[in-house]
Amino acid sequence: MELVYAICVGFMSACGIFLMLRGHTFTLVIGLTLLSYAVNLFLFASGGLTIGAPAVLNSSENYADPLPQALVLTAIVIGFAMTAFAVILAMRGRADLGSDHVDGIEPFDPLAEEKS
Partner 1 sequence: MHYFWVPFLPMFGILVPLLTNKLNRSACTLATALLPALALCLIFLDLPAVFAGESFSKSVEWIPQLGLSLSFRLDGLAALFSILILGIGLLVILYARYYLSEKDNMGRFYSYLIMFMTAMLGIVMSNNMLQLWFFWELTSISSFLLIGFWSHNSDARKGARMALTITGAGGLALLAGIILLGQVVGSYELDVVLNSAELVKQSPYYIAILSLFLIGAFTKSAQFPFHFWLPHAMSAPTPVSAYLHSATMVKAGIFLLARFYPVLAGTETWFVVVSLTGLFTLLLGAYTALFKHDLKGLLAYSTISHLGLIVLLLGLNTELAAIAAIFHIMNHAVFKASLFMAAGIIDHESGSRDMRKINGLWKYMPITATLAMVASASMAGVPLLNGFLSKEMFFAETLEQSILGAMSWLIPVLATIAGAFSVAYSLRFIHDVFFNGEPKGLTKTPHEPPRYMRVPVEILVAICLLVGIFPNYTIGPLLQSTSLVVLNHPLPEYSLSIWHGFNLPLLMSALAIIGGVAIYLNRKHLFKFAGMFPDVDAKLVFEDCIQACVKWSQKITTKMETGSLQRYAFCLCFFALLLIAPPLFDLETTKGSLAGTPINGAVIVAAILIVAGSLATIIWSHYRLIALLMLSLVGLVVSITFAYFSAPDLALTQLSVEIVTVILLLLALYFFPQQTPTSKSRPSHFVRDLAVASFIGCIIGAICFALMTHPLDSISAYFLENAKIGGGGTNVVNVILVDFRGFDTFGEITVLGIAALGIHKLIARMRLSMRTKDYAGRLWAKEKYPVLLSVVSQSLLPLFLLISAYIFMRGHNLPGGGFIAGLITSIALIQQYLAHGVDWMAKRVSVSYHYMIAIGLTIAGLTGLGSWAFGRPFLTSWFEYVSLPWIGKFELASALVFDIGVYFTVIGATLLILASLGKLTTTERLTVGER
Site for partner 1 in 59-78 (CB under 8 A): 59, 63-67, 69-70, 72-74, 76-78
Binding status of residue 8 toward partner 1 by CB under 8 A: yes
Give me Rg for the CA atoms of the chain. 20
Binding status of residue 97 toward partner 1 by CB under 8 A: no
Element at 29 (helix H, strand E): helix 25-45
Closest distance of CB 115 from partner 1, Å: 12
Closest distance of CB 100 from partner 1, Å: 6
Binding status of residue 115 toward partner 1 by CB under 8 A: no
What does the alpha-carbon distance between residue 50 and residue 12 come to, in Å, rounded to a whole number?
A: 21
Closest distance of CB 108 from partner 1, Å: 9
Please name which of 29, 36, 7 lies closest in space to residue 87, comparing C-alpha atoms.
Answer: 29
Whole-number Cα distances in Å, 45 to 23, 86, 98: 32, 27, 42
Residues 14-53 contacting partner 1, CB under 8 A? 14-27, 29-30, 33-34, 37-38, 40-42, 44-53
What does the alpha-carbon distance between residue 44 and residue 75 come to, in Å, rounded to a whole number?
A: 10
Closest distance of CB 72 from partner 1, Å: 6
How many C-beta atoms lie closer than 10 Å to residue 64's C-beta? 19
Binding status of residue 107 toward partner 1 by CB under 8 A: yes
